[in-house]
Amino acid sequence: MRFTLILSIICFSFQLLQGQTEGTVYTFKNGDPYGTGKWYMGREIAYVMGFHGMDWLERPEREQEEKVSKLIKNLKLEPTDVVADIGAGSGYHVFRMAPRLTEGEVYAVDIQQEMLDVMKSRMEERGIENVKLMKGSEQSTNLPANTIDKILMVDVYHEFSFPKEMAESMKSALKPDGQIYLIEYRRENDWIPIKKVHKMTEKQAIKEFEAAGFELERNMGNLPWQHCMIFRKK
């Protein structure tokens, strides 16, 4: 009798868990020690780098390692462009784009208030007026619909807890001819000194973005460590 009761509880708990996960695009299992254990389309999602790692974003050798100046050129910014930097962090890319947008602006989006506070302080110090700070959430950029010409994501998409929902949010924010610039460390190259769970292959990126209604326009392929993939709405 007692064994039957325990078995019934186990079966009920399993059915309840199935009900909670049924229909979702996410699964949960053990994986990389630096991963969250949450998987999307065969890829384990990485932990978000906290604001305590801000110094790494601003490291002096970053230009040499990543050729950020070349990345900015890849964006082909027009003076009137409205650009969104998703996962803007300390504003490393934001403050390199803003001076080029003499008639446009940058939305600096981050989910960590500490990052937004740092960017606000730097805006005030430098007298920058064409940057708008935006606090996002795990499932939304909170950007206004149909307003963005170009979205930039540098080494951040792989950390999104809800990549499907975030892709939908970005799709809504983009203008019909808008572009997403997805910058991710190349997982195809083992020699790149970044943890595997913090890298992505081109194939995986295409798989996920096609599922969200985007198509790859091109992969620039001109950065030392990173993919520079340009996606458009289908």
Task: Read off the pLDDT of each residue in 134-152 and give the average, rounded to a whole number.
Answer: 98
Confidence of residue 23 (pLDDT cuts 50, 70, 90): low
Helix orientation angle between 202-211 and 163-173, rounded to the nearest 10 degrees: 70
Please report the pLDDT score of residue 182 as a whole number: 98
What's the pTM value of the predicted model, to 2 decimals?
0.89
Query: What is the average pLDDT value for the chain, to the nearest integer?
Result: 91
Confidence of residue 119 (pLDDT cuts 50, 70, 90): very high
Asked if the model's pLDDT at residue 16 lies above 80, the reply is no
CATH number of 21-233: 3.40.50.150
- Kindly state the tokens that stand for 97: 């784009």
The answer to which of 23-27, 65-69, 148-152, 207-211 has the lowest mean pLDDT is 23-27
Cα 67–Cα 124–Cα 95 angle in degrees, nearest 5: 15
31-75 tens-digit pLDDT: 999 999 999 999 999 999 888 888 889 999 999 999 999 999 999
Q: Which residues contact 108 (CB under 8 A, 6 or more apart)?
A: 85, 88, 91, 94, 116, 119, 131, 132, 133, 134
Please report the pLDDT score of residue 51 as a whole number: 86
- Do strands 43-46 and 35-40 pair parallel, antiparallel, or not at all (unpaired)? antiparallel
How many H helices and E strands in the chain? 8, 10
Asked if the model's pLDDT at residue 167 lies above 80, the reply is yes
